[in-house]
Amino acid sequence: MLTNLQQQPADALLALIKLHNDDPRADKIDLGVGVYRTGQGETPVFGAIKAAEKKLVETQDSKAYLGPEGDMGFVHALMPYIFGKANPDMDGRIVGMQTPGGTGSLRLALAMAQRAGVKRIIVGKPSWPNHNQICKDLGLEVFEFNHAGEDGKVDMDALRSALAAGGEGDAVLLHGCCHNPTGIDYAPADWDEIAAILAKSAVLPIIDLAYQGLGQGMEEDAYGLRRVLGAVSEALVCYSCDKNFGLYRDRVGALYAVAKDPAELGAIMSNGHALARANWSQPPDHGGAAVRVVLEDETLTAQWLDELDQMRERMRQVRARLAEAGKTGGVDLTALGSQNGLFSIIPFTPDQVQAMRKEHGIYFAGSGRINVAGLTTGNIEKFIAAVAQVTG
């Protein structure tokens, strides 16, 4: 039977990692892998997380299963940061569960939506590739609209048209902040309009909040999500701690459901638990427990937020230098200064992507998506000069 399986194409990102690793040049630059890097090119463990892990080692007295819902202390501790401290459970209308990373949360949300009757997912193009891949694996139809125009700004007309064409049986998947891969986010006024449209629509909102705190700030990055949830009766929220706590390999995420009536939450989450049981059974404990310990301790919380501020400020400095370079060869880098998060897309041609790799040892996705955190004071001038040479 196994001979019936056909060879699948290699993951483009994994292939890119190998190309970079195999390059012998000492000044090569990796702008492909989607992790934060310091000015020294390292992906650190947060000091707050290290302190929490030490506390766990000293106090944890069991490695027994958590259950499909995971560490509910972790789930509840995140809620004030996501939904607001004033009313984090929206009068009892929100319930959540732990998942293996943001990907696990998305998989669960889309499968749950499918069980509820959703057949089609409205997705901005381009989006994180795994969005469409999960939809395809579940057999969900994908309807794409242009996320941004050639001017580097969100295409609100395309979104308005997509939502107007949607209805019962549709869901829309929205990036809460730090759009991956473009870095082009909706402004507060855009979110106000999106919320008003969804308030009158039968389309189910699914909000992917994977980078809270890496854009403009923890509160600012939650604006769109809170605006939408304040306007609609139902929604699903997918959350990742992999980036804003630096817990990539520990796979730390959560799924939250917003119901019309608190009485519906039990039935909703029973489906979440059943789907989780059939997929991964129990979520991993360690990363979620470390986050919980951080958020239960005021000193560790303050330390975490300070470390997150430093990450965001470094990326803003990188973006400011790229924007300062302005027209560079045949491309204009100015817009990167107003974008958010780890990623931006530069309109390289396929030949230019290859030239950046072969002639300069600079590696990024074939789409032109770069991880701005891969740029440092030591290599950013090389990158700008290479862009000018290759695209000029």
- The 10s digit of each residue's pLDDT in 262-309 is 999 999 999 999 999 999 999 999 999 999 999 999 999 999 999 999
Q: Which helix (DSSP H) or strand (DSSP E) does residue 175 occupy?
A: strand 170-175
- Residue 152 confidence (pLDDT): 86
Class of domain 65-296: alpha beta
Mean pLDDT of the chain: 95
- For the structural domain made of 11-45+310-391, what CATH number should be given? 3.90.1150.10
Contact present, 140 and 110 (Cβ < 8 Å): yes
24: which 2 tokens? 């012998």
Binning pLDDT at 50, 70 and 90, where does residue 322 land?
Answer: very high
Angle at 384 between CA 383 and CA 390, to 5 degrees: 85
- What crossing angle do the helices spanning 72-83 and 286-296 adopt, rounded to 10°? 60
Average pLDDT over residues 107-115: 98
- How buried is residue 323: exposed, middle or buried, by Cβ count under 10 Å (0-12/13-18/19+)? middle
Nearest alpha carbon to residue 211 among 122, 128, 110: 128
- Residue 211 confidence (pLDDT): 97
Question: Pairing between strand 94-100 and 331-332?
Answer: unpaired
- Residue 359 confidence (pLDDT): 96
Binning pLDDT at 50, 70 and 90, where does residue 131 land?
Answer: very high
Average pLDDT over residues 229-251: 97
Residues with catalytic roles:
128, 208, 243
Binning pLDDT at 50, 70 and 90, where does residue 200 land?
Answer: very high
Q: Where are the domains of the chain?
A: 11-45+310-391, 65-296
pLDDT at 9 exceeding the cut of 90 = no
Dump pLDDT digits (tens) for 142-193.
999 999 988 889 999 999 999 999 999 999 999 999 999 999 999 999 999 9
Binning pLDDT at 50, 70 and 90, where does residue 41 land?
Answer: confident
pTM: 0.95
- Residue 17 confidence (pLDDT): 86
130: which 2 tokens? 């795994």
When comparing pLDDT for 236 and 18, which is higher? 236
Average pLDDT over residues 359-382: 95
Binning pLDDT at 50, 70 and 90, where does residue 10 land?
Answer: confident
